[in-house]
Structure 1
Amino acid sequence: MWKKTFHTVSLILLLLIASPFMVTGESTVEVMALSGTTGLSLVKLLEEQPTIYPGVTFNYTVLKSPDQISAKIISGEADIAAVPTNLASILYNRGIPLQLAAITNWGVMYVVGSASTISSWQDLKGQEIGVTGKGSTPDLLFRYFLTANGIDPEEDVTIRYYASPAELTQLVIADKVRLATLPEPWVTEALSRNLSLTVLLDYQQTWQQLEQRSDSYPQSALVVKTQLAKENPAVVKAFLQAASDSNAWVVTQPSAAGLLAEKYLSISAPAATAAIPRCNLRLDEAYQVQAEIDYFLEKLYSFQPQSIGGKLPDEEFYLQK
């Protein structure tokens, strides 16, 4: 009798070790991505929904706004999410149990327009420029680049704010706004529909030159619910590998990826295909590039502390190897 009981207990323990989700009662992982370039690196997973880890189903949801995806993370509905890096810091500093697992793109911002006389940041002096999201990361970086080049954002230029990149893009296409800061894929959308437009300035190159960094700024990230990371690290590791493979596929197969971007992310296929080379897609696990993330968040904090949640996140913010 004792041997039979011991055998039964041993079998249960073996199953629990082999199937970590039995410990938590979970058999699904909810993956949520923000529409647009933030979710672009995951489109292969959205389409194929492969088996990433035995016995675990990964469900995918695409959300249209930062507010929507924030609500899902705060409520605990999202186990893994693709979000802007500074939003990850804001949520962490609010006490939301998450960890930064990886960076998925390294900047997608550009200044576009039809002004052929503009070839440097100094040339923006005296100009009127359209910008989206007052106080957002693109806005803060824009103001920083101006200041670093001797231009006072309050006195030397006129900044007009718009609600969304989509709205600003339409005005640029119609020649109602002469200069604008836009992210991909809206840059490509604008250039393809108004042939007088061109890319005038590159945020990413400017960042590297000013800061003397080997990489651009880490704009988008994957975050993981802390409980999932601690209780099921093998599942998280498997997902990060799958996400990395998807990211690499998008870079090497832009035409096919463009079709999926149109299907899942509300980006037109031609625009997505043409934009991918300028999206700086590369997945790096957070522990590998922590110095770059720290530097970026410190810079944002120096501009506007609330842009990262009022303080620099501590070491627990980063998912370690």
Structure 2
Amino acid sequence: MRGIVLILITISTLLGNLKIYSPKAPPSIPLFNREYKGVTIDLYDRFNTAILPKIVKGEEALYIIPTNVAAKLFNKGIDISILATLSEGLLFFCSKEDKRLSEIKDKTIYVPAKGSSPDVITNIIIKKSQNIKIKYSSAPEIAKLMKAGRIDFSVLPQPLASMVESDNIKIFDMKKDWGKTDGEFTIPQVSIVAFNSILESKKIELNKFLIDFEKEIKKINESEELNFERLQPIGWKLSKNNLKRSLKKMNLTFNNNFQSVKVYLEKLYKKDPKLIGGKIPSEKFYKK
């Protein structure tokens, strides 16, 4: 688990002592956009120090975390199940040329955090024949370099990708490149998981929350209505208009049909089994 660093928001939802831990990222928007009774919010800087210990010691809660990290934890014996994926693709290729990631050759691209989901997905898409050199930095720093014109190509998640988009910088949803080989165009890199112990002990509270959460995601996607003030704790320095423009590209979803997850994990396994804990998770990983 070393090297996995995320800035996280902790959300304690007191629906019968049900807790949720969620990242400072687009999948948190539906949690903040409406009021869930008894919600409290705390900021965390690092997954390894703030969230991982809670999972390892078995704290009963819901966790919104990278899908491959969830698989890795499951394969290491942590008794969790995946409930749903929350985005079909947050990553965009940002380019000074009108070309997708799979179309460039002999270039240097900047990618956030070596070993992170963006790094893994990028390396699966590119081919050796493209002769691509990858350099690493933090996502905010890469966005600054792109906006300043100091680099020409990068991979960034939303909303940072929309922040750098301009007349000179094109952004391309990486789903099209991702699905070229097998026709599975979704990139389910973020999921909500839970300890199996609460699936029964807090079944009523959990089901109520998941129903409300799914409805909120659907509402946001259909109406694009955001409670801008409630979203401020997430920390994005975006205007209302820019956030709405980015929202369309976040591909938020509540998908508990796990076919895309299985394809995603198989691709990661073929790249490096260690990315998902050494093996393909069994069917017990998926909440039925």
**Same structural fold, with TM-score higher than 0.5 when normalized by the shorter chain:** yes
How many residue pairs align between the two structures?
271
Partner of 1:40: 29
Q: Which of 282, 291, 297 is matched with 2:259 structurally?
A: 291
Q: Secondary structure at the match of 1:249?
A: helix
Give 1:255 deviation, angstroms.
Answer: 5.0
Matches of 1:190 and 1:267 in 2, distance apart?
A: 14
- Answer whether contact 2:95 2:169 (CA < 8 A) is retained: yes
Give 1:195 deviation, angstroms.
Answer: 4.2
Pair 1:198 & 2:163 matched: no
- Answer whether contact 2:62 2:195 (CA < 8 A) is retained: yes
Partner of 1:272: 243
- Answer whether contact 1:31 1:58 (CA < 8 A) is retained: no
Matches of 1:33 and 1:62 in 2, distance apart?
A: 10
Distance 1:177 1:81, change over 3 A: same
Distance 1:40 1:297, change over 3 A: same
Larger Rg: 1
Partner of 1:173: 147
Listed as ranges, the matches of 1:1-321 within 5 Å are: 27-45=16-34, 48-50=35-37, 57=38, 59-67=40-48, 68-77=50-59, 79-116=61-98, 118-119=99-100, 121-122=102-103, 124-147=104-127, 151-152=129-130, 156-162=131-137, 164-191=138-165, 195-199=167-171, 201-213=172-184, 215-261=185-231, 263-270=232-239, 271-285=242-256, 289-320=257-288
- Answer whether contact 2:66 2:117 (CA < 8 A) is retained: no
The worse-fitting range, judged by mean Cα deviation, of 245-254 and 80-89 is 245-254
Kindly indicate which of the two structures has a greater share of residues assigned to helix.
1
Q: Secondary structure at the match of 2:149?
A: coil
Matches of 1:312 and 1:257 in 2, distance apart?
A: 39
Name the TM-score, length of structure 2 as normaliser.
0.85
Matches of 2:247 and 2:85 in 1, distance apart?
A: 16
Distance 1:143 1:76, change over 3 A: same
- Answer whether contact 1:31 1:78 (CA < 8 A) is retained: no
Matches of 1:58 and 1:90 in 2, distance apart?
A: 29
Query: Residue by residue, what CA displacement relative to the aligned partner does 1:42-86 show, whole Å, maximum 9, x if unpaired?
Result: 2234xx123xxxxxx555545444333333322334511111111
- Answer whether contact 1:104 1:283 (CA < 8 A) is retained: yes
Which amino acid in structure 2 is aligned with residue 159 of structure 1?
I
Give 1:167 deviation, angstroms.
Answer: 1.3
Distance 1:208 1:62, change over 3 A: farther
Which amino acid in structure 2 is aligned with residue 40 of structure 1?
I
Structure 2: give runs of 5+ residues left out of the alignment.
1-14
Supply the RMSD in Å over aligned alpha carbons.
2.2
